[in-house]
Structure 1
Amino acid sequence: MLLFRSEEHVRRWCDSRGREPGAIISLEQGWALARAWYSDRLQPGWRRKPAAEVEAVFQSCGLSGPFWRLTVP
């Protein structure tokens, strides 16, 4: 993950390196994702989330679209 000032900054950085931008999310979305992702990590019964559950976490943070899709529709 890289942090940028704006979407324009992302585009300039990508252009200067010959890369296409990936998903661009706000700091608020990144924080919501981190809270949701790691909230149970220290629990004794922790297990890796299946793809459908991970997609539900993404959706709950407002992250949608092809980049965030793990399962085949």
Structure 2
Amino acid sequence: MRLFRSEEEVTEGELVDLTTLAELARRWYGNRLDPDWRPRTLAESQAILDSVGLTGEFWRLD
């Protein structure tokens, strides 16, 4: 992750606003310390990305 002052500074990758990034982090890491935690499947990981609006070819995990 890189933080930029403006969109003009971005030369590759995708832009994500901080609200979306925070929600992704909450969903991605929110249960890591639970005693019954298990690695998620690829489909479950993709569903998290989709649920926060990170869709399209760049965000495709398969």
User: TM-score scaled to structure 2, two decimals?
Assistant: 0.89
**Residue in structure 1 matched with residue 23 of structure 2 by the alignment:** 32
**Residue in structure 2 matched with residue 2 of structure 1 by the alignment:** 2
Identity across the alignment (%): 50
**Higher RCO (Cα < 8 Å, 6 or more apart):** 2
Q: Which runs of 4+ in 1 moved over 6 A?
A: none
In structure 1, give the amino acid aligned to 2:8: E
Higher Rg of the two aligned structures:
1
> Following TM superposition, by how much is the alpha carbon of 1:4 offset from its aligned partner in structure 2, in angstroms?
0.9
The SS at the match of 1:48 is coil
> Following TM superposition, by how much is the alpha carbon of 1:6 offset from its aligned partner in structure 2, in angstroms?
1.9
User: TM-score scaled to structure 1, two decimals?
Assistant: 0.77
Structure having the higher helix fraction is 1
Aligned positions of 1:13-24 closer than 5 A: 21-24=12-15
How many residues are treated as equivalent by the alignment? 62
Deviations 1:13-63 (A, max 9, x none): xxxxxxxx0121111111110011111110011111111101100011110
